[in-house]
Structure 1
Amino acid sequence: MFKKLTMGVAAAGMVLATGCASILSDSSYPVTINSTPSGANFSVVNEAGLDVHTGVTPDTITLAASDGFFSSASYTVKYQMAGYNEQSFQLTAGMDGWYIGNILFGGLIGMLIVDPATGAMWKLPESANVTLQPATASAPMGGLTIASIDQVSEDVKSQLVRVQ
């Protein structure tokens, strides 16, 4: 009888000393970095402004969902490709649904200590996708004038090149 009681107390202690999200989730997640068109260079920058990863799309990288105790991680993915405008995508971790499971299974220890300490209370999106916009040439204001051949002086006409 005493042995069964000891085993029951030990099992209950283990359940109460763990966090629901820590058991059922992760603290780091694979994130797929995509662009249309593919082949763009990308860099992932954390909140401190440090590059944490660089590569070429498509690529799958692993990022931490936590930025400290009770603090979710946030990253900026910067895309660059010749002939296209540079673009950015914000990746921000949200609360993992399993963290709420602590109300039923993990108790206050899981909710206030274990899951926040391990970072398992946060979850990152599965992907960062952007459609790159082609770069367009632009002339400064007043820098481009369109005129018909009748409006051009004879001096300028002599410098024109015929295009066929």
Structure 2
Amino acid sequence: MKKYIALSMVSLMLLNACATIISGETDKVAFTAVPENATFLIKNEAGQSVHEGKTPATVMLDRGNGYFAGQTYQVEFSAQDYISQTQKLDTSMNGWYLGNLIFGGLIGFLVVDPATGAMWDLPEKMDVKLTTRISN
């Protein structure tokens, strides 16, 4: 019986995927701009439009872009009488991903979290202040 319990514990530790379980494959990002009601367009690394809207808004975005690759986005903000501005939205390492090392989740560390993109985090928000266009 002790052998089965030990085997079960080891199996659970190896199948751990901390970032996937805690954070998921997508991340919520809030977009604000001055002036309010500015239009924004989000494009992924492939140049595909993934969202278009008006600020303020909150959007769910994919964390990953393939095995061990975080997604990077270009966000273009525009408003009438203001100069358009493009900002880069990039991922960083998710702290829960390192939980795989602590809890012994080898499969989570090498396979699950890297494949799902859960090993990456996006910033919680992006704030932009557009510059007024000077007319001649």
**What percent of counterpart residues are identical?**
40
Aligned pairs for 1:27-42 (under 5 A) are: 27-42=25-40
- C-alpha deviation, 1:38, in angstroms: 0.5
Give deviations 1:91-117, integer Å, cap 9, x for gaps: 101100111122221333221111101
* Residue 21 of structure 1: aligned partner: 19
- The TM-score normalised by the length of structure 1 is 0.78
- Matched residues in 1 for 2:21 and 2:43: separation? 29
CA deviations over 1:22-79 (Å, ceiling 9, x no partner): 2222220111111011110111011111100000000001001100100000001101
| Runs of 4+ residues over 3 Å off in structure 1 | none
Structure 1: tracts of 5 or more residues without a match: 139-164
Higher Cα Rg, which structure: 1
Cα distance change on mapping 1:24 and 1:106 into 2, 3 Å: farther
- Post-superposition shift, 1:10? 1.8
Residue aligned with 1:90, SS: strand
Q: What CA distance in whole angstroms lies between the structure 1 residues aligned with 2:87 and 2:134?
A: 21
Task: Report which stretch shifted further, 15-24 or 124-133.
Answer: 15-24
Match of 1:50 among 42, 48, 51: 48
Deviates most, 93-102 or 46-55? 93-102
Farther-moved stretch of structure 1 (129-138 vs 106-115): 106-115
RMSD (Å), alpha carbons: 1.4
Q: What is the alpha-carbon distance in structure 2 between the residues aligned to residue 98 and residue 69 of structure 1?
A: 17
Equivalent residues of 2:35, 2:79 under 8 A apart: no
SS of the residue 2:131 aligns to: coil
The one-letter code sitting in structure 1 at the alignment partner of 2:9 is: A
CA drift of 1:90 comes to 0.9
Aligned runs of 1:102-121 on 2, under 5 Å? Answer: 102-121=100-119
Structure 1 or 2: larger strand share?
2
Q: CA shift at 1:84, angstroms?
A: 0.2
Q: TM-score, normalised by structure 2?
A: 0.93
Give the Cα separation in 2 of the matches to 1:71 and 1:63. 14
Q: Name the structure, 1 or 2, with higher relative contact order (CA <8 Å, separation 6+).
A: 2
Q: Which amino acid counterpart does residue 22 of structure 1 have in structure 2?
A: T
Residue 99 of structure 2: aligned partner:
101
